Amino acid sequence: MNLSTAHPVNVDSNKPAFNGLSASEAAERLKQYGPNAVREQKTSSLLLLVKKFWGPIPWMLELTILLEIYLGKTTEAIIIGSLLVFNAMLSFFQERHAQNALELLRKKLTIQSRVLRDGTWQVIPAENLVPGDVIHLRMGDLIPADVKLLDGQIQMDQSSLTGESTPVDGGKDQMAYAGSIIKRGEATGEVMATGAQTRFGKTAELVRTAKTASHLEEVVFAIVKYLVVADVALALIVAVYSIILQLPWHTILPFILILLVASVPVALPAMFTLTTALGATELSHKGVLVSRLSAIEEAAAMDVLASDKTGTLTENRLTLAAIKPYPPFTEEDVLRMAVLASDEATQDPLDMAILDAARQRGIAVSAETIQFTPFDPEKKRSEALIKQSDGTTQKVMKGAPLTLAKLSGTGEKIEEEVREFAQKGYRVLAVAAGNDDESLRLSGLIGLYDPPRKDSKELIQSLSDLGIRVLMVTGDDAQTAQAVAHQVGIAGNACSAETLKSPTESADGSCTIYAGVFPEDKIHLVQKLQKAGHIVGMTGDGVNDAPALKQAEVGIAVASATDVAKAAASLVLTTPGLRNILSAVETSREIYQRMLTYTLNKIIKTFQIALFLSLGFLFSREFVITPLQIVLLLFANDFMTMSIATDRVTASPKPDRWNIFSLMKIALFLALPVLILSFGFFYAAKSLFNLPLEQVQTLMFVMLVFTGQANVYLVRERRHFWNSIPSRWMLLGTLVDVILVGMLASLGILLPPISFSFIVITLIVVALYLLLVDRLKITAFRWARF
C-alpha cells in the first residue's frame, strides 16, 4: 500500500467527529511509549568470530600453543595455531546465516498511517503512532497497531497473526490487531497499544527472547571432559613416578605437552560442522533449506513434533464439506443459490470455495444478475437480485445462519444443526431466497472447512514409526481440533491452553491435541516439553508460530509460511506438503551415524595414544613418539578421517541420543586390543629388529596412523564391517592417507626414514588386527547396549 506523504487527507465527512491528539501530546507519548516498532537485536560479526575461540577445545589448544612457545617449539605452535584458526573460520562461515525475524517484523510496522492530529487528518509513518491516536483504516491497509474501532465495519485477514484462514469481522468497540490486513470496508479507531505492547509486537518479543536449545555443544564438552579427566589422571601418575625417580622437569613437561596435544579432539568441531554442512546441501536437494546447522543433529534426536494445524496439517484453503437442504430445495438448489450470492471478483475465501464446488459438480448458473451486494460485516450477508428465465426477479442471500433465519422467520432446529456442523470443524453459512424480503425463505445450510493435506495422515504414521510423537497445536476450539486430528491420524486427549499455563502441569504425554492456544502458549508448550527432557520439533507457517519455531531445537517452516516464520525456523520446506519432514529426519539420522563413527574412532585413538605414551614412558623412560609426530597425527588421523562425512550409512529406526558414558565404555574396551598391538610393535622394533629410537618412533607413528584408519572401518557398522561398502570418498581418503604416510616414512620427509618393508608388514598386521577385533566389537556394542 502506497500513500502520499502529503499531510492533508480527505476522510468521509459523514463520519462522526473525533478529537484525536495534538502534536505536543503525541510527542510526549512518543517519549513515554517509544516508537511503534519492534526492537532489533543484532550481533556483531566480529563478536561471533571471537566466540569461536572460546570453549573447551579452543582453551586446550590455546594452552598447548602457549606451552609450545614456552618450550621453544615454534613450528608445532604455528601448526596448532593454524588448526585452531581453521576450526574457527570453518564454523563461522558455515553458521553465519543470520536470522532476520525481528527485522521482518519491524518492516511490517514501518508503513504510512492516516492519523488525526491537531484536528487535521495527516499521513505519518506508522512508527510515530502512539496510544490515543485516532487513525483511519481502509481496504488493503495493514493495521499498524492494536486499535479499538470507534466507527465503521471491516473484514480482516488475521491469518499471518493467528494462523487461521477464516476472515474476521470487526465493528464498533471491537479490537483490530496489528499485522492484520483489511480485506473489506473501512473504519476509524483509537490506538490502544503500539510496538512491543501490541499482540503482533508481543509475538516479536517472544521471537527475540526465545533461545534455541542446542545439545551439540554439550556433547562436545562432555567428550572433552572425559578425555581431560583421563589425561590428568595419567599425567599425575607420570608426575608422581618422575618425582620418585627424581627425573628433571624439563623432561616431564614435554611429555605432558605431548599427552595434551594427543588428547585434544582438535578436529571434532570442524568435523561436526563439515558433516552438517554436507547434510544441509543434501537436504536442499530434498526440498529442505537449513538455516541453523545444529538443527540437523537435533533432528536426529527429535522425539516430539508439535505441529500447527492451519496451513501445516491442513491446506489453509476452504472447501465445501456438506450441504443441508431444507425441503423442497435440493443440495443442487442450495449450491446454485449460494453461487448467485457470490462474486469471484471479491476473491473472498468463502465465495471462492462455493464457486469451486459448483464448478467441480458441473452446476451451471445462467440467471442474469441485476445487482450484487458484497458481504457486509454489519448486515452479515451478501445478496444478489437476479432475473429469472420467466422475467421475474428473485432476491438471493448468503450469510450468517442465525441472521438469515431471523430474516426468513424460520429459526426452528437451525441452532442445533449449526452446532452439529461446527462440531465437525465446519464454517457454516445459510442460503435464503425469495421474491422480496417478505417472502424470503431459508433454503439450506452450507458447511465449509479447511481440509487436511493429502499427505498429513501418512506422514504422521511414518513419523510415529520412527519413534516421534506428533502433537497438534491450534487456535481452534477442542471439538474442531479433535475432528481434524482424527482425520490426520492423531489420537488422544485434547487439552486447553490453560494446561500449558499451569506451573503444575507437565507435558507428560497425556495430551496429543492442544486447542485454543495463542503464540505465548506455543512457546510454553515447547519449553515444557524441553524441560521434560524431550528434543522438540515445531512446525508452523504464521507470525504466531515464530517464537515457538525459534525456541524449538528443530523449528520447521512450511513452504507457504510467512517470511517471519521462515526467518525464525531452523529448517524451511521449499515444496508444498510435509513429506520433506520425513526426509529431514532420515537424513539427519544418517548424519548422526557419521558423526558417531568419527567420534567413537577419535575416543578410541585418544585412549590408545594416551595410554601408550604414558605406559611406554613409565616402562622405558623414553618417548615412544615425538611431539612433531603427534601433531602430524592430527592431520593423518583426525583430518584425513573427515571423509567419514560422506560415508554410506543406514538411518536409525528410533531417535538418536548421544550417550557419552556408553561411548567411553565401548572406546576403552576397543582401545585395549589396539594398545596391546602397539606395545607388540614397540617391543618388536626395539628387541627383535634392534632399531634405533628415532626409527622406532617413526614405525610407531606409521602403526598409529594405520590403526586409526582401521578403527574407522571397525566402528562404522554395528555388524561385521564388510556388510556394507563405504563411500568412494572415504575409501579414497584412506588410500591417500596410507600412501602419503608411507612415502613420508620411507623417504624420510619430516621423519627419520625406515625400510619400506616395515611399512608393508605394518599394513598387513593392521589388516589382520581389523579382522580379529571385528567380532570383539560386536560383543562390545551389545555389552554397552548401544
DSSP string, 235-277: HHHHHHHHHHHT--HHHHHHHHHHHHHHH--TTHHHHHHHHHH
Rounded Cα gap, residues 85 and 770, in angstroms:
35
Contact between 94 and 277 under an 8 Å Cβ cutoff? The reply is: yes
Look at strands 393-399 and 381-387 and give their pairing: antiparallel
Handedness of CA 82, 84, 87, 93 (dihedral sign): negative
Active site residue 118: no
Helices within 54-167 (DSSP H only): 56-70, 74-95, 101-109, 159-162
Q: Which residue from 489, 485, 383 is spatially nearest to 436, judged by alpha carbons?
A: 383
Rounded Cα gap, residues 781 and 776, in angstroms:
9
What nine digits make up the cell of 93? 562461515
CA gyration radius for the chain? 35
Half-sphere exposure (Cβ direction) of 255: Cα atoms closer than 13 Å: 29
Rounded Cα gap, residues 421 and 402, in angstroms:
14
Q: Which residue from 322, 331, 431, 429 is spatially nearest to 384, judged by alpha carbons?
A: 431
As a dihedral over the C-alpha atoms of residue 500, residue 503, residue 508, residue 514, rounded to 10 degrees, the angle is -10
State the distance between the two ends of the chain, measured CA to CA, in whole angstroms. Answer: 59
Rounded Cα gap, residues 762 and 741, in angstroms:
12
Question: What are the backbone angles phi and psi of residue 779, rounded to the nearest 5°?
Answer: -65, -40
Tell me how far CA of residue 484 lies from CA of 108, 310, 428, 479, 657, in angstroms: 32, 10, 16, 9, 32
**Given the residues 231, 308, 563, 737, the one annotated as active site:** 308
CA 236 to chain CA centroid, nearest Å: 45
Contact between 134 and 121 under an 8 Å Cβ cutoff? The reply is: no
Question: What amino acid occupies position 596?
Answer: L
Rounded Cα gap, residues 584 and 283, in angstroms:
7
Rounded Cα gap, residues 572 and 585, in angstroms:
13
Contact between 137 and 184 under an 8 Å Cβ cutoff? The reply is: no
Helix (H) or strand (E) holding 372: strand 368-376
For the beta sheet containing 319-325, the strands, ordered from the edge strand earlier in sequence to the opposite edge, are 319-325, 441-449, 427-434, 393-399, 381-387, 368-376
Q: Is 452 helix (H, G, I), strand (E, B) or coil?
A: strand
Contact between 231 and 209 under an 8 Å Cβ cutoff? The reply is: no
What nine digits make up the cell of 603? 575416543
3-state secondary structure 525-572: HHHHHHHCCCCEEEEECCHHHHHHHHHCCEEEECCCCCHHHHHHCCEE
Q: Which residue from 123, 119, 128 is spatially nearest to 141, judged by alpha carbons?
A: 123
Contact between 658 and 695 under an 8 Å Cβ cutoff? The reply is: no
Contact between 67 and 250 under an 8 Å Cβ cutoff? The reply is: no
Question: What amino acid occupies position 194?
Answer: T
Q: Which residue from 489, 492, 750, 633 is spatially nearest to 83, judged by alpha carbons?
A: 633
Which positions are annotated as active-site residues? 308
